[in-house]
Structure 1
C-alpha cells in the first residue's frame, strides 16, 4: 500500500505550489476523464444506480435500527420482495426441517443468516454512500513551480510535478514488468481482488516480522488514488473492492496499468512515471533502463522514505528487491538482474532544494502569484538568484552567529544583496528555515535606528546644506523629548559630514526640525519606504518600523543615482512552452537631485572611511550606514561596494536586547565578510566590480565626494553602481564648461562655458586637484565634483559662466546668486 504523499491538504490531495510557504489552501479538484477511459456517464450511471439502490434498501444501515422495521415492512410489500421471500423459504424448507430436529443446526443457520444479512446491509450502505461526481478520476489542479537561478540552473521545485500522461503503447515493457512483479504478481489473472495474493502477503509478512508485501491489487490502488480517500475504514475497503471489480469489467488490463503508472506518487512532489523519470534520471520514461525502472517501481510503496534524491542507498536497496521479484516471476533472468545490481541507477538531477534558498523561493512564489495569478499549469521561473553569492551569504551569517551568537545574545540574522537595478542576488531570511519559515528580509518590521538618517540628511542636502556645513552637537530638546547621543557625550561644532559619519543623534534631530518632518517622510516615500511613518520628532532617529528590503532598496537608489529602485526576483515565467511573463529591460530613472545625491554619497563614504562603519572597509571604495536601536534590540548595516548593495540585520525574534551589539559591530563585520568574498567571486566570473584600493582615514577638513585618487594619475576610469563610466583625475580646462581628461572631452551639465581669462583661472584652481565626473541625464553631459562640491554649481556661483539650457534648478539658483552678488561676469 502506498504511503500518503507529503505537502497535502486536509482532503489528502496535494496543495498547489502557490499555497506552499503561506496559509494552507487545499487545491480545488477538477473533474476530468483520463485519456482512453470509459465515458463520464458510465461511471456516473453506475454510481447513481448504486446510490439509488442504497437509498431504497439501505436506510436501516444509515438511520439505525429504529427505522429498520419500517423499511423492512415496505420492502416486504413489494412484489419482487414477496417473490424472493417465497423462493428463499422454499429453498430453506429442507434445512429448516432438519434444523427443527437438530437444535444446534437451528442456531447455526440463524447465525449464518444474520451474518449474511448484516454483510449485505453494510455493503448496500457502502454503495449508497459512494460519492457521485460523474467521473472516474478526479485530478487535482495543483501545479508545480520549477525555480531556476540567474545562470539557468534548476535548484528548487515547489508543488506537484505531474508530467506527461503515457498511453498504453508508450509504457516501457521493463517498467510494466517491474511494477507488476513487486506490486501485483497475479495482475493478469485476477478480476480486481486477489484473495490468493492477500493470503500470500499475510504469510510473508508474518515470516518477515513486518510489512514487506502488500495485499492490494494494482486495480485497488488505482481506485484508491483516483477516486477514494486515504481513510483506512471498513466502508472505504468495501467501496474499494466493489469499484475494483467494476473497473476490471470496464477497462482492459493494459489501460488499468497505464492509468496506475500515470497516477502513482514517486516522491519529491512527482506524480506519474514520466515525470519521475524526468525528475530523477533526466530522461523520458520510454528511455528507462532496467536498473532505473526497478528503482521507480520500488518507490511507490514508500516514496518519501525511499526517494533517491534524499535516500539513494535506500532506493537502490529497494530496487534490488524489485529485480529479485522480476526473476521470481520470470520477467528477467538472474544474469540480467545481477548485471543491473552491479550498475545501479544514478540520480542525474540536483539532489534537493538547498535549505537556505527556501526563503528566496517563498518570495519568488509570492511574486509569481502576483504576476500571473493562480492556475493549473506547471511553471518554470527564471530568477535573479546568484547561487554563488547565496552560498556565501548563508555561510557568513551561520559562521558569525555560531561564533558570537550565544555570547552576544543574538539568535537571528538576515541579509539581502541587490544589483543596482534592484535584482535580488542573494537572500537569507533567517538562521534556519527548518526552524522558522518567517522571512526577516521581507516580513519582519523592525526599528531601523540611525539608518533612517539617510532620509533626514538627503532632505537637508536638497534644501541647501553641504557636507562642510557646520552645526553644533549639543543637548537638544523638542517639546518634552530630549534625544541623546550614543555614549552620552557631545562634540560641539561639527560638520554635516562628521555628524553623519559618527551618527550623532542631536544633529540629525536639528536637521529634521529645520527641514520639516513631512519633507523627510516624502523623501523616504520617494525612495521606496511603504511602511507607516508617523510624523513624530523621534522618526528622525528611526523609531518607525520598516523591513530590511525596504531600507536596502532606498540605499540602492541613492547609490545608483536613481529616483527609486524596485526590488525584483523574477526575470521570466514559462508554462507549457509559452512565455507568460518577461521583465522589461529598463534602467531606473535617473534622480533629479544629482547634486544632493553626490553629496549624500560623500557622507555615506565617510561612514566607512572614518566613522561608525569602519569595520565594513573592503579593498574597493565603499559607503554605507550603521543602525542601532535602544538596548541593542536591532543592529543594522546597509552599504554599497562595486556593483553590490547589501543590507544586514541582527536581532532576536522576541525583541529581547542583545549584549551590546551595534550596527558597526557584528552587522558591519558580516557585511565586510560577504562583500569581500562576493566581489572576489564576481571578479573571477568576469562580472564588473570596482578595482581601486579603499582610501585610508582622512582629516575632517578633507571633503571629497569620491575616494581619493593618485594625483599623478589622470583619466582614472571606473564605474558607478548604475554601470556608468566615472572619470577621475586632474583634467585640463578647455573652457569653463568643458574639461579634458587626456583627450576625452567632458561637457559640464548646466554650464555655457567661457574661454580666455575665466578658463585660465579655472585651470589654475583645478591644477593638481582630483575631479570626479559621472554622466548625467542622457549621458551627453557630466556632473563633476570637487572636494564634495558640484563643479557646475561652483562655476556658476562664482560667475564663471552662464547657465545653459540643460541647467537644473539648483544650477539656475547658483547663477541667480552670482547675478545678485555681481560676481565674475556679472560685475558689470
Structure 2
C-alpha cells in the first residue's frame, strides 16, 4: 500500500508544469495593466488638481464683481467724447431673471449635454482628441459652457493642448464648487457678444435697445448665435449672417425639444438698433488705440484717451469721400496738421460694411503723385523750376514711357512739365539724378514700404500707403522738415491722473529750404494751371494728382494753410474703375473737405522764392544777356523770339538746343556751350556767335552753368517689341 501511494505521489509530482505565457497575450496583459495603472494615477492626479483648484477659486460674489477687460473713453481734439470702447456689462441678471428661452438657446447651440456632464463632456472630448490626431494637431472647439467660463475668467484663448488641460481642470473645479444654475448665470452675464458687449443684458441693449429681461425667442437666438464668432455674426456688421446663424440656433432648439417644433420664428423680422458712432471715427480709433500697448505701462483701470481728431473735419472728410467716390470703389483720406496731428482719417466708405483701413494698411501704387520725389531729387541736384527740359519720346534701358494722350510738347520748363505731369520728363530727370537717388529721397520723406529702382519707378510703380504719402507732402509744406503723424495727445485715468502726454519731437532737416520752396512752386502750379485744377478752393493750394494704369487708383495729395490732406480712391480687388483719375474724383473730394478744414484759418501765401546758397548764385543776368531787344530769347510760353520782334511773328528760327517732337538733338551741357551746328531742317547758321555764347553761359566746365539736361536722346520712338508704360497723371 505504501509503495502504491508513493508511486502515485511520484507520478503526480512528475506532471509537467504549465509553460509561461508568451507572444501577443503577454504584451496585451502588460499593456492592459500598465494602462490601468496610468489611468488610476491620472484619475488621482486630476482629482488632486481639481480639489486644489476648487480651494483656490474665488467666491461666487468675487466672480460676479470681476471685469474681464478695460473701458476706454476716446475724446476728440476739443475734449468731447467721440466713442466709448471696451466692455459694457449692462445690468447683472440673477438666474431667475434670465428668460428661459435665452438659457435654452445658449445650451442648445453651445453645450447640449450641459446638465449631464461634470464640467467636461466626455463625448465632446473624445471627438476633440480624434480631430487633433487626424488633423495635424488642431484642437477642435468643443468646450462646454463651464470650460468657456473658465477660459474667459481665468485663461487666454490660445488653442493649445496645455491650455485645454488647464481649462478642463478649472471647469471641473467650478462644477464641484458651484451649481449648474450659478455657472450658467455667470456665463450669460460675462460671455462676450461683440461690439464691446459683455453679458446678455449689454448685448440686448446694444442690438435691440431693450433689457435682456424682454428678449423674444428670435432675439435670444440671435444673441446665442454670436458666441461662436462675434465679429462674423454681429447684426451691426452683417445682418444676413446674424439671421442665418439664428436660424441654426432655432433648428437645434427644436431638434433637442427645447421649444415646440410647431413654433414659427422668423429672425429676419427682428428690429435692430440703429448703429451710430461706428462709421468713420472707428477707422481712426482702430489705428490709434493699439499704440497704447507701447505708450502705457500695463493697466486694467478705466482710462480716457485724448486725441487729435477734429469732429467737424472728420464729418466733412466722411461726407467728401462718400459723395465723390465712384460706385463700386472705396475711398480713403488722411489729413495732417502742420505738426503731424491727425485731424481726420477715413479708411473706407462704410466702416460697418468693412473695417479694413485703407488709409493706413492698404498698399497701392501712387502713380504720378510719386513724382514728388523725382522732382525733389532734381531740385536738390541744382535744377530749378525755370530750368529747361524737353518733352519728347525717350527710351531708358529698353523702357519707353509715354504721356497721357500720347502727345509730346517739346521744350518747356520744369514747372510746366510737373504741372502737366509729363512722364517723359520725369523719366529723364530720374535717369539724370539716378533712380537710387529718387528712392533715397522717398525714404527720407517717410516712405517705409519696398521701393523699386527700375526706371518705371519714377511713375509710381512702387506700392505705398496713403498715410505715408500724406506725411511726405506734409514735409514739403513744413519747408523741408520731417513730420511725424500722431493721434494721441494724452492719456488719463478716470480720476484725472496723467499716464502719458505727447511731446513733439524736433523735426529733422530733409532737404534745404530752397528745395522745398521750389517744390512748393511746382505743386502750386499743378493746381493753378495743371492736372489738379479741380482741387482749387479759393485760396493757395499746392498738390499733385496720381493715376495708375487702367484707372485702378486715383490720388490727390496737397496742402493749404498748414493742413496737408491725401485722398485715394480705387477698388479693393485692384480692378479698373471707369473714369477714375486723380484730377477728378480724388481732387474734388480733397477740395470739398479742405474748404471746411481751412475755413477758420487765415489765408497763407506760399513762400516759393528760391533763396539759393551763395555758392549757387549766378552773376548778374544783365551782364550776360544785355537788352532783350538785342538777342534771341525764350518767352514764358517757350517760344523763340527774334531781335526786335517781341511777338515772335515772322517764323522765328528755332533754338537747336531745344528740339521739338520728331527731331533728334543733344541736351548735353558741353554741346550747348560749344560751337553750334546748322539746323538739320533748314541749314541756317547758328543764331548767335560763339563769343556771345561764351559770355552768356560760360564754357562747358563752368561750375555755375545751368543744370545739365537729361542725356536721353529725344525723338527716338520705342522700337518694336519694347514696352511702353501706361500713362500716369
Matches within 5 A, 1:223-372: 227=150, 246-247=177-178, 269-270=196-197, 353-372=277-296
The partner residue of 1:616 within 535, 543, 567 is: 535
Give the TM-score taking structure 2 as reference length. 0.56
Q: Does 1:583 align with 2:502?
A: yes
Matches within 5 A, 1:550-699: 550-575=468-493, 577=495, 578-585=497-504, 588-589=507-508, 593-676=512-595, 678-679=596-597, 683=599, 688-690=600-602
Ranges of 4+ aligned residues in structure 1 off by more than 6 Å:
123-129, 220-225, 236-242, 255-262, 264-267, 291-296, 298-306
Name the CA shift for 1:303/1:572 in 2 (closer, same or farther; >3 Å): farther
The partner residue of 2:320 within 396, 400, 407 is: 396
Q: Does 1:136 align with 2:136?
A: no
TM-aligned CA deviation for residue 374 of structure 1: 5.8
Give the match for residue 182 of structure 1. 97
Q: Does 1:429 align with 2:336?
A: no
Q: Is the 8 A contact 2:444 2:510 kept in 1?
A: no
Higher strand share: 1
Give the TM-score taking structure 1 as reference length. 0.50
Aligned counterparts of 2:347 and 2:51: Cα–Cα separation in 1? 44
Name the CA shift for 1:259/1:413 in 2 (closer, same or farther; >3 Å): closer
Q: Is the 8 A contact 1:310 1:351 kept in 2?
A: no
Name the CA shift for 1:518/1:428 in 2 (closer, same or farther; >3 Å): same
TM-aligned CA deviation for residue 591 of structure 1: 6.0
Aligned counterparts of 2:145 and 2:482: Cα–Cα separation in 1? 56
Give CA deviations for 1:296-341 in whole Å, capped at 9, x if unaligned: 9x999997999xx999xxxxxxxxxxxxxxxxxxxxxxxxxxxxxx
Q: Is the 8 A contact 1:521 1:533 kept in 2?
A: yes
Q: Does 1:150 align with 2:68?
A: no
Aligned counterparts of 1:179 and 1:568: Cα–Cα separation in 2? 45
Give the match for residue 377 of structure 2. 459
Q: Is the 8 A contact 2:97 2:213 kept in 1?
A: no
Give the match for residue 405 of structure 1. 327
Give the match for residue 496 of structure 1. 414
Give CA deviations for 1:234-255 in whole Å, capped at 9, x if unaligned: xx9999899578458xxxx9x9
Q: Is the 8 A contact 2:50 2:173 kept in 1?
A: no
TM-aligned CA deviation for residue 71 of structure 1: 7.7
Give CA deviations for 1:574-614 in whole Å, capped at 9, x if unaligned: 34644332111456456651112112111111111110011
Q: Is the 8 A contact 1:268 1:304 kept in 2?
A: no
Give the match for residue 381 of structure 1. 305
Give CA deviations for 1:365-421 in whole Å, capped at 9, x if unaligned: 3322333376544443222122222222222222223xx425xxxx22211111111
Q: Does 1:483 align with 2:483?
A: no
Tell me the secondary structure at the aligned position of residue 426 of structure 2: helix
TM-aligned CA deviation for residue 132 of structure 1: 5.6
Tell me the secondary structure at the aligned position of residue 527 of structure 2: helix
Tell me the secondary structure at the aligned position of residue 544 of structure 2: strand
The partner residue of 1:526 within 444, 450, 465 is: 444
Q: Is the 8 A contact 2:94 2:185 kept in 1?
A: no
Tell me the secondary structure at the aligned position of residue 613 of structure 2: helix
Gaps of 5+ in 2: 1-30, 106-113, 120-143, 154-166, 227-233, 237-273, 626-729
The partner residue of 1:445 within 358, 363, 366 is: 363
TM-aligned CA deviation for residue 486 of structure 1: 0.8
Aligned counterparts of 2:456 and 2:422: Cα–Cα separation in 1? 14
Q: Does 1:514 align with 2:432?
A: yes
Name the CA shift for 1:426/1:126 in 2 (closer, same or farther; >3 Å): same
Tell me the secondary structure at the aligned position of residue 476 of structure 2: helix
Name the CA shift for 1:126/1:229 in 2 (closer, same or farther; >3 Å): farther
TM-aligned CA deviation for residue 689 of structure 1: 2.0
Q: Does 1:813 align with 2:615?
A: yes
Aligned counterparts of 1:630 and 1:511: Cα–Cα separation in 2? 21
Q: Is the 8 A contact 1:632 1:662 kept in 2?
A: yes
> For this pair of structures, how many residues does the alignment match?
500
Give the match for residue 700 of structure 2. none
Name the CA shift for 1:651/1:294 in 2 (closer, same or farther; >3 Å): closer
Give CA deviations for 1:490-531 in whole Å, capped at 9, x if unaligned: 001111111000000111112222222233222222211122
Give the match for residue 733 of structure 1. none
TM-aligned CA deviation for residue 555 of structure 1: 0.5
Aligned counterparts of 1:546 and 1:293: Cα–Cα separation in 2? 47
Aligned counterparts of 2:436 and 2:560: Cα–Cα separation in 1? 31
Aligned counterparts of 1:566 and 1:414: Cα–Cα separation in 2? 19
Give CA deviations for 1:165-208 in whole Å, capped at 9, x if unaligned: xxxxxxxxxx89x8476249xxxxxxxxxxxxxxxx79x999xx
Two-structure CA RMSD over aligned residues (Å): 5.4
Aligned counterparts of 2:492 and 2:453: Cα–Cα separation in 1? 45
Aligned counterparts of 2:171 and 2:408: Cα–Cα separation in 1? 82
Name the CA shift for 1:237/1:546 in 2 (closer, same or farther; >3 Å): closer
Tell me the secondary structure at the aligned position of residue 304 of structure 2: strand
Aligned counterparts of 1:480 and 1:237: Cα–Cα separation in 2? 67
